[in-house]
Chains A and B, each alone.
Chain A
Amino acid sequence: MLVRIAEIPIQISCNDSEFFFTRLAAYQLKDEDIQPRMILRSSVCEEITLPEGELIGKIKAINLKKTTDGRFFYYGVNRDNQVVSLTIYDPEYQLVEIKQIASRKHSIFSLTDFEYMYTGLAFSNRLAVEGGLILHASSLTYKGQGIAFSAISGTGKSTHTGLWEKHLDHVQIINDDKPAVRFVDNKPMLYGTPWSGKTDLNNNICAPFSALVFLEQSQENSIKRMTPADAYFDMASEVARPSCDEALGIQMLDIMERLLESVPIYKLRCNISREAVQTVYEEVIGGKMP
């Protein structure tokens, strides 16, 4: 299946094709002549044979190895030392292959859950190579402006964007959990992606990135601008940087800093009310909320 996500044409194939087809349908490219910039293959097999490779790093339980033809791979093992998952990639993430064994058991996640997470991570890495990043945020567009609400899980990102939908007309969710950010003509843009966390609330749309709002629960509503340096702390928790790829991790810092310096950033302390939306509206959109 050929899709385009945040401007990246991707040839993608997955094990749970039914699940992925639903999520990817809105991103599908009809024109099969477009050359993909990424090939992403995820499959499930009976047994995984590891390629030959030299150990180049150890991050917690993960072994990172390099093959003789310059690709990298890391894998996970279960208690019986059986390889349960494998990811092989080139330094540019143009070809990423993910494998899992059919008998893999996990107390929380299914094979499809893992497939969803691994493909999302691979996409995030390719996006970083192209100068963009994935932000852990619920994001919407209103009056042509893209606003992302970011916070640690459980704070109420989706609850807050839900309030925008409830109290205003013409609000559209870009992505409820993980929008992509990339620069077009030096301007930051927010893009929908099919990876949207627990919900499948995402749309294949993009909007100029007008404001990044970090949420905190509070009895009272208040909003204030943050300096890029102060926002660094919040931002670093909400951008997944690859610990297996130091060079790409550093490149992501460049992208994060570019974003921090080009998008107005706010700290919103809010409750669950119309007034919470109004507080952001007056500061970010300007004027009186209809």
Chain B
Amino acid sequence: MKILSGYMLREVGGESIVVPVGSRTVDLRGIIKLNDTAAFLWEKLQDECTRQELVSAMLDEYDVDEETATNDVGRFIESLEQNNLLEKSSGKTDN
């Protein structure tokens, strides 16, 4: 899976914000404030990656157990899906 193109991760005042750019500029609902973990996962998802790769990356970066990482990744992906921010799957499932 991968984040839809046309969104940029920005930093302002030490916080992370996602902002639509280019032809998506008018989509003001597309502005999202992310916490540190979400911003970390967002960066990973700018390139194609699987759910398992996200969990592994989180385990490398943060001092968390696998169950917590899996839950965090699951919740984040779910919210991306709800907001239609993921590219349509190429048919490959990676659950």
Given contacts A228-B12, A232-B17, A261-B13, contact A246 B28 (CB under 8 A): no
Tell me the complex Cα distance, A59–B21, Å: 12
Contact assessment for B22 and A229 in the assembled complex, using a CB-CB cutoff below 8 Å: no
Q: Does A227 contact B (CB under 8 A)?
A: yes
Contact assessment for B12 and A232 in the assembled complex, using a CB-CB cutoff below 8 Å: yes
Contact assessment for A249 and B25 in the assembled complex, using a CB-CB cutoff below 8 Å: yes
A-side contacts of B17, CB under 8 Å: 229, 232
Tell me the complex Cα distance, A237–B8, Å: 16
Interface centre among B8, B10, B12, B21 (most CB of A within 10 A): B12
Q: Within the complex, what minimum Cβ distance (angstroms) separates B5 from chain A?
A: 11
Query: In the complex, which of the residues A57, A227, A246, A250 contacts B13, with contact meaning CB atoms closer than 8 Å?
Result: A227
A-side contacts of B26, CB under 8 Å: 243
* Contact count A vs B, C-beta below 8 Å: 52
Counting chain B residues whose Cβ lies within 8 A of the other chain, the interface size class is 10 to 19
Q: Does B44 contact A (CB under 8 A)?
A: no
Query: In the complex, which of the residues A58, A236, A261 contacts B28, with contact meaning CB atoms closer than 8 Å?
Result: A236
A-side contacts of B13, CB under 8 Å: 227-229, 260-261
B-side contacts of A165, CB under 8 Å: none
Q: Within the complex, what minimum Cβ distance (angstroms) separates A41 from chain B?
A: 26
Tell me the complex Cα distance, A23–B80, Å: 47
Q: Within the complex, what minimum Cβ distance (angstroms) separates B25 from chain A?
A: 4
Mark each residue of chain A from 225 to 259: 1 if its CB lies under 8 Å from any CB of chain B, else 0: 00111101100110001110010011001000100
Q: Does B23 contact A (CB under 8 A)?
A: yes
Contact assessment for B22 and A243 in the assembled complex, using a CB-CB cutoff below 8 Å: yes
A–B Cβ pairs within 8 angstroms, 26 of them: A58-B23, A59-B23, A229-B12, A229-B15, A229-B17, A229-B33, A230-B33, A232-B12, A232-B17, A232-B19, A232-B31, A233-B33, A236-B19, A236-B31, A237-B28, A243-B23, A243-B25, A243-B26, A250-B21, A253-B10, A253-B21, A257-B11, A257-B12, A260-B12, A260-B13, A261-B13
Chain B residues packing against A (C-beta within 8 Å): 8, 10-13, 15-17, 19, 21-26, 28, 31, 33
Q: Which 7 residue pairs spanning A and B have beta carbons closest together?
A: A228-B13, A229-B15, A246-B22, A243-B25, A228-B12, A257-B12, A59-B23
